[in-house]
Amino acid sequence: MQLKDKTALVTGAGSGIGRAIALAFAREGANVVVADVNDEGGQGTVGLIASSGGKAIYQHIDVSRPEEQLAAVATATQVFGALHIACNNAGISIGPSGSYQSLADVSLEDWSRLIDVNLSGVFYGLRAQIPALLKAGGGAIVNVASVMAQAARPGIGPYVASKHGVLGLTRAAAVEYASQGVRVNAVGPGYIDTPILSRRTAAELNVIKGLSPIGRLGRPEEIAEAVLWLSSERASFVTGGYYPVDGGFLAQ
């Protein structure tokens, strides 16, 4: 098992990519702190891990609240003794308005919420997690960005800005803490078959499938395998990197 005797914290682990990551970590022997704002989904992930013989606990967290990030790390260390791995996965694609707008028409509320969750949420996570990893003697952090960390499309300006910011934070943390044994990387999912696409019509989904050369949506498990590798000792010389898992979207 790649992560035997390690403890991992995953935000947004109640569904989709986060759930797949939590399950992959548990499969490889890690104790998992399943963190989410969705209590039902988070408890569901814990149940799936337990049914497979793994160890996991649930922690309610709104990643845009620094104190809740600190509480999640405290729970990990209190229950399992240390924190070795963190995956900052929680994110949203749309603000309180429930609509996508051209940049000049974006409401301040939508802008603030996207930045608070997607960008500040990663910063608050890093701020809480890094001291715990240093105390444990080092470890790995993987931030879930997006292909929109290196591209842009109309109507999603706040999302694009937030994900570009995640990549910058990843690189800044990587160069600051590499000499202390903490590796920080980012993955860039393309269009993945998760609840975040539930607002799309069948016709829109067909268009989305055609955006990548592979011609289909990705699966959450395909992102999880990349995160698992980056979190393991198999990636021991890898830090500050950005790894698209996008079916060739960025290669076009």
Beta bridge mates, 55? 31
Query: How far is residue 95's CA from residue 99's CA, in Å, rounded to a whole number?
Result: 7
The number of angstroms, rounded, from the C-alpha of 148 to the middle of its chain's C-alpha atoms is 14
Alpha-carbon distance values, 83 to 13, 128, 184 (Å): 17, 11, 14
For residue 124, indicate whether it is catalytic.
Answer: no
Q: For residues 184 and 86, what is the distance between their CA atoms, to the nearest angstrom?
A: 9
From first to last of its 252 residues, the chain has per-residue pLDDT tens of 899 999 999 999 999 999 999 999 999 999 999 999 999 999 999 999 999 999 999 999 999 999 999 999 999 999 999 999 999 999 999 999 999 999 999 999 999 999 999 999 999 999 999 999 999 999 999 999 999 999 999 999 999 999 999 999 999 999 999 999 999 999 999 999 988 777 788 888 888 999 999 999 999 999 999 999 999 999 999 999 999 999 999 999
Structural domain boundaries in the chain: 7-191+219-251
pTM to 2 decimal places: 0.97
User: What is the token pair recorded at 229?
Assistant: 């590798």
DSSP notation for 33-91? EEEES-HHHHHHHHHHHHHTT-EEEEEE--TT-HHHHHHHHHHHHHHHS---EEEE---
Position 202 scores a pLDDT of 86
CATH homologous superfamily for the domain 7-191+219-251: NAD(P)-binding Rossmann-like Domain (3.40.50.720)
Q: Which of 58, 100, 124, 159 is catalytic?
A: 159
85, two tokens: 């791995």
Q: Residue 234's pLDDT is what?
A: 98
Closest CA to 181 of 246, 133, 252, 126: 133
Exposed/middle/buried for residue 62 (C-beta within 10 Å: 0-12, 13-18, 19+): middle
